[in-house]
């Protein structure tokens, strides 16, 4: 040091070569200057120096050739590795040059505070910058930073150079563990990173840099999660289509991410040609290349995106299919336009398979949902299994007609294949709504989802259950409406759903009414089971009457069916279509010991698929119950008719027992009361219940609105109304069947009365015969052995019984009337008025009380 | 080993040439030898600004010395 100083002095001050005193003097002076504070107030910044030199050169020689020359020299200088302190050398040159130029104050250039932008950029560089020189810092006024730095130096701990951290950060971004920064473990859930700052690497990382790296590492962590998810799904089987498309979208996003990382990496590498070898280049790199802070800024956008992706991934673990779409859709209501756009994009892609399924379902009635993601679930145990393949979506008509929708099982009229309730169950249970899978944007209005379900169901039903060959026409009509369904076009979606729904349900209506003659079946049920064809009922009653009086176990079904056949032939029913008559059948219910034919006989109307969708088992049960009740009523009416003829003609013509005339009169009064009762009840059932309900039903069917569900609903209402009113059901709990039971009792009493009357008639007849015999004997004509008169008490018992039954009947009807008067149903109250038209029962009651 | 040493020398020479050119470009009026000495000192850790100040001081001294030799009898100009 001293020798070089003295040589310097010698070369600069030739006088000192000879003058030793002067030389010593100057040496001391120079030592003083060198150890002073000059130039220690700031760090030497390479770029600053270069900039200053260029500026000065430009001022001296405005042509710019000097600057060019200097740049050239600088480039050459940078290639030389012999110097370790290039900035300092340059700084020295500048200082000397500026001293030559008195117009420029060098201190103004070097001591000015760095501009804020520069300060920001160069900060990490200064932080991690090593100070390999042992500075001749002998001054006492050291700053705390300097003390700290020295302490670190003494412990041989250095800040890790930024480019190393940068390289590691870029690794971390790709989920790769770096040399100095590592993921704490390979476990994905452990999201910590650790800095290796031990004795091996001899580097330490300042807390601010750590925070920065942590921020960057979040991306790496998220990336790992997303990437793992995609890998997992790629290899796994049975992944839903929506999830697959989510994976695809994530994959394409990740591709963008890779591209970004590749760009970053090239930038980082190109700005640092010899990473870590040349200290002097650090500052240049921090000026033009990538720094941790810049990385952070550039990746900010991606951080948000990665977070969104990671959220989706999380969601996909728990939800699938429509629920997943739903989950993503819930993020579209975000105030942040970035999040919103991202989700929209994602949804557009993810909802594609959903809409494809929806499209197929809406326009073809096929449910192609191999992974159970759609919001309509199919019960494969029911109904004809169909193989819906994706190609039929885009396929032509030929293909559709070839896929066995019809023709496979043509309408063989005698084919009652399968269990009879299949159709109804098929419609109701085959396809069910899965609420969880319903995307919000589809089911905004509550009706939409029902319409979607109904449309698909209708089409499916038309195709596979009705074997309707003309559904292709419907399909054609629909295809004119359909566009492509997309997430971005929700309004168009609603419109398509509406039109599809209208067409499909209309078609189904037509199929049911025109092809399957629903109306014919309904009226047949009304005519036969509700005894609408009076002549047929009479014939049947007449033909069956005698055999039905026998015990149930003496009846045979073939006899019954033969009788039924006779009844049909001999009545107007023979003009009905064979298809209807074919379905009519006589049957016996399960009977127990002691029951007679009347109790077990029933008429049956057989329905098959697909009509049994409307006329399901439950409805048929209702029909049967009603038939039995009406049949019973008919029987009572018939009985009374016959009784009346006996009372009016027989009793007047043959019986000549004057003392019993009065009894007969009473019987006539009783029977006419009964007839009045049964006629009113029958008229009520026929006119006010059956016909009124029927009109409502027919009106609905003529409107041709709504889908199959509404037909089923209308028919159910019709039947319910009829059942309720005919059975006079009271809505009050526990009293539903009170009036109905009383009615049955009344019927029973009528039948017993008739029996008692028959007995009495026979008694009177034999009495009259006996009296005739006696009269003949008196005239001397022997007509047989005289039998002593039957005891008076036989007639007495018979009349008492008759009287009792008559009284019972009156009481019964009276209480029926009483109940009906307070019945909640208005029609039933009118029945009460009809039954007791002139307040007959009321006055009776008052008279008795 | 010899080649490395010569390489090193050559490269040092080259560096010095470049720096000398720069110095001429900047019009520092340093001779090549002085420059070499200065670079050596800076490489040894001397603060460049301080060194520049020292050189300026020396130059001023030199100017004073030459002045004093020119006006040898003038007592007002004395070496410090």
pLDDT digit string, tens, across residues A709-721: 888 888 889 988 8
- Which residues in chain B have Cβ-Cβ distances shorter than 8 Å to A135? 45
Mean pLDDT along residues A329-355:
82
Other C-beta atoms closer than 10 Å to the C-beta of A369 total: 22
Six-digit token string for A105: 């104050």
Does the CB of B65 have a partner CB in chain A at under 8 Å? yes
Query: Angle CA(A253)–CA(A488)–CA(A314) in degrees, nearest 5?
Result: 40
Contacting residues of A for B26, CB less than 8 Å apart? 53, 56-57, 93-94, 96-97
From first CA to last CA, the distance across chain B in angstroms is: 49
Is the overall model pTM greater than 0.80, yes or no? Answer: no
- List of chain A residues whose C-beta atoms are within 8 Å of the C-beta of residue B61: 13, 26
Q: A135 and chain B: CB distance < 8 Å anywhere?
A: yes
Dihedral in degrees, nearest 10, Cα atoms A490, A496, A501, A506: 160
CA distance A817 to A677: 11
Partner residues linked to A203 by β-bridges: A158
Which of A3, A19, A92, A131 is the best mutation test for B, with the most CBs of B within 10 A? A92
Q: What is the DSSP letter of A436?
A: G
How far apart are the C-alpha atoms of A335 and A438, rounded to whole Å? Answer: 24
List of chain B residues whose C-beta atoms are within 8 Å of the C-beta of residue A33: 50, 53-54, 57
Query: What integer pLDDT is reported at residue A103 of this predicted model?
Result: 42
CA distance B58 to chain A (A): 7
At residue A281 the predicted structure's pLDDT band, cuts being 50, 70 and 90, is very low
- Between A121 and A742, name the one with better pLDDT: A742
Mean pLDDT value across residues A194-204: 61
Res. A38 pLDDT band, cuts 50 70 90? low
Q: Are strands A203-204 and A158-159 parallel, antiparallel or unpaired?
A: parallel
Beta-bridge partners for A195:
A181
How far apart are alpha carbons A332 and A783 in whole angstroms?
110
Q: Which domain holds residue B5?
A: 1-70
**pLDDT above 90: percentage of residues in chain B:** 0
- Mean pLDDT of chain B, nearest integer: 76
Lowest mean pLDDT among A56-65, A253-262, A745-754, B28-37: A56-65
Chain A residue with minimum CA distance to B26 = A97
Contacts of A70 in chain B (CB under 8 A): 22, 25
Asked if A42 has any chain B CB less than 8 Å from its own CB, the reply is: no
**Short-list A652, A644, A711, CA closest to A675:** A644
- B10 domain-assigned: yes
Task: Count up the domains in chain B and report the number.
Answer: 1
Nearest residue, CB atoms, A93 vs list B11, B23, B31: B23
Phi, psi of A226 (to 5 degrees): -60, -45
Query: Distance from B72 to chain A by nearest Cα, in Å?
Result: 13
Give the model's confidence band at A420: pLDDT under 50 very low, under 70 low, under 90 confident, else very high: very low
Q: Work out the average pLDDT over A420-445.
A: 68
Domain assignment of residue B78, yes or no: no
Element (H, E) at A605: strand A601-605
Give contacts of B39 with chain A, Cβ < 8 Å. Answer: 83, 89, 92
Q: Cα A313 from chain centroid?
A: 21
pLDDT digits (tens, 9 = 90+) for B46-64: 788 888 888 888 888 888 7
* Residue range A812-830: mean pLDDT, rounded: 86
**pLDDT the model gives residue A401:** 36
Q: Please judge whether B65 and A96 are an interchain contact, meaning their C-beta atoms are less than 8 angstroms apart.
A: no
Residue A753 and residue A726 in contact, taking contact as beta carbons nearer than 8 Å: no
- Do residue A82 and residue B8 have CB atoms under 8 angstroms apart? yes
Is the pLDDT at A346 greater than 60? The verdict is yes
Contact A39 B44 (CB under 8 A): no
pLDDT at residue A185, rounded to an integer: 60
Residues shown for chain A: 849
Q: Which helix (H) or strand (E) holds A493?
A: helix A490-510
DSSP state of A19: -
**Cβ contact, residue pair B26, A56, below 8 Å:** yes
Q: Which residues contact A193 (CB under 8 A, 6 or more apart)?
A: A172, A181, A182, A183, A184, A213, A214, A217, A220, A221
Q: Compute the nearest-CA separation of B78 from chain A (Å).
A: 11
B24 CB near a chain A CB, below 8 Å?
A: no
Considering only the beta carbons, identify the residue of B21, B37, B48 that sits closest to A8.
Answer: B37
Partner residue opposite A22 with nearest CB, options B11, B38, B79: B79
Query: What is the ipTM metric for this complex?
Result: 0.77
For A788, counting Cβ atoms within 10 Å of its Cβ (0-12 exposed, 13-18 middle, 19+ buried), the class is: exposed
Q: Give the closest of B15, B28, B56 to A80, CB-based.
A: B15
Could you tell me how far CA A187 lies from the centroid of its own chain?
36
- pLDDT digit string (tens) for A173-185? 887 777 777 776 6
- Both tokens of A422, joined, read 């299949």
Structure tokens belonging to residue A612: 């049994």
Percent of chain A with pLDDT strictly greater than 70:
77
Interface contact B5, partner A, CB < 8 A? no
d(CA A343, CA A331): 7
Residue A702, both tokens? 């003529």
Q: Within the 272-311 window of chain A, which residues sit less than 8 Å (CB to CB) from chain B?
A: none
Q: Do the Cβ atoms of A85 and B80 come within 8 Å? A: no
Q: Which residues on B lie below 8 Å from A53 (Cβ)? A: 26
Distance from CA of B26 to the nearest CA of A (A): 6
Residues of B in contact with A92 (CB under 8 A): 38-39, 42, 48-49, 51-52
Q: Nearest residue on chain A to B61, judged by CA atoms?
A: A13
Chain B: residue whose CA lies nearest to A73: B18
Chain B: give the shortest CA distance to residue A284, in Å. 20
Give contacts of B49 with chain A, Cβ < 8 Å: 38-40, 91-92, 95, 110
**Are B52 and A134 inside 8 Å of each other by CB?**
no
Residue A145 vs residue A115, higher pLDDT:
A145
Count Cβ atoms below 10 Å from residue B1 Cβ, excluding itself: 5
For chain A, give every domain's residue range: 36-120+141-154, 162-340, 351-515, 533-615, 616-844
Of the residues A33, A50, A52, A86, the best mutation for testing chain B's interface (the one with the most B CB atoms within 10 Å of its CB) is: A33
A376-378 and A203-204 strand pairing:
unpaired
Please check whether residue A87 is in contact with residue A280, taking contact to mean a CB–CB distance below 8 angstroms. yes
CB of B76 less than 8 A from some CB of A: no
What whole-number distance in Å separates Cα of residue A147 and Cα of residue A18?
44
Token pair belonging to A211: 């925070």
Cβ <8 Å between A135 and B50: no
Residue A675 is predicted with a pLDDT of 92
- Show the 3-state SS of B22-63: HHHHCCCCCCHHHHHHHHHHHHCCCCHHHHHHHHHHHHHHHH
How far lies A738's CA from each of A379, A688, A729, A735, in Å? 42, 21, 8, 5
Q: What is the DSSP letter of A596?
A: B
What residues of chain A lie within 8 A of the CB of B58, using their CB?
8-9, 12-13, 26, 30
- Is the Cβ pair B25, A73 closer than 8 Å? yes
- Count contacts between A and B (CB, < 8 Å): 163
Residue B73 has pLDDT above 70, yes or no: no
Q: Which chain A residue has its CA at the smallest distance from B8's CA?
A: A82
Is the CB of A520 inside 8 Å of chain B's CB atoms? Answer: no
**Residue to test with chain B: of A82, A99, A110, most B Cβ within 10 A:** A82
For residue A813, the number of C-alpha atoms closer than 13 Å in the C-beta half-sphere is 29
Closest-CA residue of A relative to B79 is A22
- Determine, yes or no, domain membership for B37: yes
Q: Chain A closest CA to B67's CA: distance in Å? A: 11
Q: Residue A479: which H helix or E strand, with range?
A: helix A471-481
Evaluate whether A230 touches A205 at the Cβ level (below 8 Å). Answer: no
Q: How far, in Å, CA of A472 to CA of A365, rounded?
A: 12
The answer for residues whose C-beta is within 8 angstroms of residue A601's C-beta and 6 or more apart is A544, A548, A555, A560, A586, A587, A588, A589, A631
Q: Cβ of B11 and A66 within 8 Å? A: no
> Best-predicted range by mean pLDDT among A106-115, A235-244, A399-408?
A235-244
A476-503 pLDDT tens trace: 766 665 556 677 677 777 787 888 888 8
Distances (CA, A) of A827 to A347, A436, A485, A680: 58, 45, 52, 13
> Which chain B residue's Cα is nearest to A38?
B50
- Is A474 a residue whose pLDDT tops 80? no
B 27-56 residues inside an 8 A Cβ radius of A: 27-31, 33-34, 37-56
Report the alpha-carbon distance of residue A43 to residue A51 in Å, rounded. 15
Instruction: Write the burial class of residue A781 (CB in 10 Å: 0-12 exposed, 13-18 middle, 19+ buried).
Output: exposed
User: What are the structure tokens assigned to A532, written together?
Assistant: 């609408």
SS3 call for A450: helix
User: Is residue B79 in some structural domain?
Assistant: no
Residues A12, B58: C-beta atoms closer than 8 Å:
yes
Bridge partners (DSSP) of residue A134 are: none
Chain B interface includes A7 (CB < 8 A) = yes
Q: Measured between alpha carbons, how far is residue B1 from residues B6, B7, B8, B10 in Å? A: 9, 10, 10, 14
Looking at the domain assignment, is residue B76 inside a domain? no
Mean pLDDT value of segment A568-578: 84
């Amino acid at each position: 040091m001293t020798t070089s100083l003295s040589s310097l002095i010698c070369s600069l001050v030739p006088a000192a070569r000879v003058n030793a005193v002067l030389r010593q003097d100057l040496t001391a002076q120079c030592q003083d200057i060198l150890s002073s504070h000059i130039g220690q107030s700031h760090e030497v910044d390479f770029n600053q120096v270069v900039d200053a030199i260029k500026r000065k050169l430009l001022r001296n020689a405005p042509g710019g050739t000097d600057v060019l020359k200097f740049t050239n020299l600088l480039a050459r200088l940078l290639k030389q590795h012999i110097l370790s302190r290039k900035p300092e050398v340059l700084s020295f040159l500048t200082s000397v040059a500026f001293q030559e130029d008195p117009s420029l104050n060098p201190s103004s250039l070097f001591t000015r505070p760095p501009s804020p932008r520069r300060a920001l950029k160069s900060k990490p560089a200064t932080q991690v910058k090593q100070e390999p020189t042992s500075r001749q810092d002998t001054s006492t006024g050291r700053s705390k930073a300097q003390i700290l730095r020295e302490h670190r130096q003494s412990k041989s701990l250095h800040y890790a150079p930024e480019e190393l951290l940068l390289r590691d950060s870029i690794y971390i971004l790709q989920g790769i563990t770096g040399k100095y920064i590592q993921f704490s473990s390979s476990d994905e859930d452990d999201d910590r990173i650790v800095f290796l700052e031990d004795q091996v690497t001899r580097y330490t990382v300042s807390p601010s840099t750590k925070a920065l790296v942590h921020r960057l590492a979040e991306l790496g962590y998220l990336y790992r999660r997303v990437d793992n998810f995609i890998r997992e799904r790629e290899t796994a089987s049975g992944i839903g289509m929506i999830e697959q498309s989510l994976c695809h979208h994530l994959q394409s996003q990740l591709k963008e991410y890779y591209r970004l990382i590749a760009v970053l990496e090239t930038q980082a590498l190109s700005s640092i040609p010899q990473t870590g070898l040349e200290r002097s280049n650090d500052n240049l790199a921090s000026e033009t290349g990538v720094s941790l802070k810049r990385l952070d800024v550039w990746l900010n956008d991606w951080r948000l995106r990665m977070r969104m992706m990671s959220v989706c991934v999380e969601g996909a673990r728990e939800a699938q299919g429509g629920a997943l779409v739903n989950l993503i859709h819930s993020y579209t209501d975000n105030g942040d336009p970035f999040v919103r756009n991202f989700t929209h994009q994602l949804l557009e892609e993810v909802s594609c398979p959903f809409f494809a399924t929806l499209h197929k379902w809406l326009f073809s009635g096929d449910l192609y949902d191999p992974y159970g993601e759609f919001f309509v679930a199919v019960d494969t145990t029911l109904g004809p299994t169909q193989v819906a393949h994706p190609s039929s979506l885009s396929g032509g008509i030929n293909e559709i007609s070839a896929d066995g929708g019809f023709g496979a099982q043509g309408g063989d009229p005698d084919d009652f294949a399968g269990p009879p309730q299949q159709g109804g169950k098929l419609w109701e249970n085959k396809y069910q709504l899965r609420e969880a899978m319903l995307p919000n944007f589809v089911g905004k209005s509550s009706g939409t989802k029902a319409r979607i379900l109904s449309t698909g169901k209708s089409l499916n039903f038309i195709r596979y259950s009705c074997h309707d060959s003309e559904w292709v026409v419907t399909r054609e009509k629909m295809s004119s409406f359909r566009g492509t369904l997309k997430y971005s076009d929700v309004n168009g979606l609603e419109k398509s759903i509406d039109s599809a729904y209208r067409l499909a349900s209309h078609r189904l209506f037509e199929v049911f009414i025109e092809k399957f003659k629903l109306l014919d079946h309904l009226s047949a049920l009304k005519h036969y089971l509700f005894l609408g064809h009076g002549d047929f009922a009479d014939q049947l009653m007449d033909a069956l009457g005698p055999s039905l009086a026998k015990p149930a176990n003496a009846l045979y079904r073939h006899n019954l069916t033969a009788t039924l056949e006779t009844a049909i032939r001999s009545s107007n029913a023979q003009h009905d279509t064979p298809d209807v008559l074919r379905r009519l059948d006589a049957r016996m219910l399960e009977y127990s010991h002691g029951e007679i034919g009347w109790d077990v006989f029933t008429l049956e109307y057989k329905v098959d698929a697909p009509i049994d969708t409307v006329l399901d088992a439950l409805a048929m049960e209702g029909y049967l119950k009603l038939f039995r009740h009406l049949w019973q009523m008919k029987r009572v009416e018939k009985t009374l008719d016959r009784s009346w003829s006996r009372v009016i003609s027989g009793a007047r013509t043959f019986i000549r027992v004057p003392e019993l005339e009065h009894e007969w009169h009473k019987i006539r009064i009783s029977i006419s009361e009964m007839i009045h009762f049964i006629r009113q009840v029958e008229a009520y059932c026929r006119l006010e219940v059956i016909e009124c309900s029927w009109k409502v039903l027919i009106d609905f069917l003529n409107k041709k609105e709504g889908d199959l569900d509404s037909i089923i609903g209308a028919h159910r209402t019709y039947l319910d109304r009829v059942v309720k009113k005919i059975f006079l059901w009271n809505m009050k709990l526990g009293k539903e069947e009170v009036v109905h039971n009383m009615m049955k009792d009344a019927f029973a009493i009528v039948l017993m009365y008739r029996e008692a009357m028959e007995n009495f008639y026979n008694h009177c007849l034999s009495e009259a015969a006996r009296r005739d015999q006696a009269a003949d004997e008196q005239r001397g004509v022997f007509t047989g052995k005289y039998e002593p008169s039957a005891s008076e008490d036989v007639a007495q018992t018979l009349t008492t019984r008759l009287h009792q039954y008559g009284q019972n009947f009156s009481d019964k009807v009276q209480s029926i009337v009483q109940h009906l008067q307070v019945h909640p149903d208005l029609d039933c109250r009118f029945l009460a008025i009809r039954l007791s038209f002139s307040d007959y029962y009321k006055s009776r009651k008052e008279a008795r009380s | 080993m010899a080649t490395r040493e010569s390489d090193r020398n050559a490269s040092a020479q080259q560096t010095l040439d470049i720096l000398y050119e720069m110095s001429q470009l900047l019009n520092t009026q340093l001779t090549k030898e002085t420059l070499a000495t200065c670079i050596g000192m800076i490489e040894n850790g001397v603060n460049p600004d301080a060194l520049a100040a020292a050189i300026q001081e020396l130059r001023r001294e030199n100017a004073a010395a030459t002045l004093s030799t020119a006006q040898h009898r003038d007592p007002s100009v004395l070496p410090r």
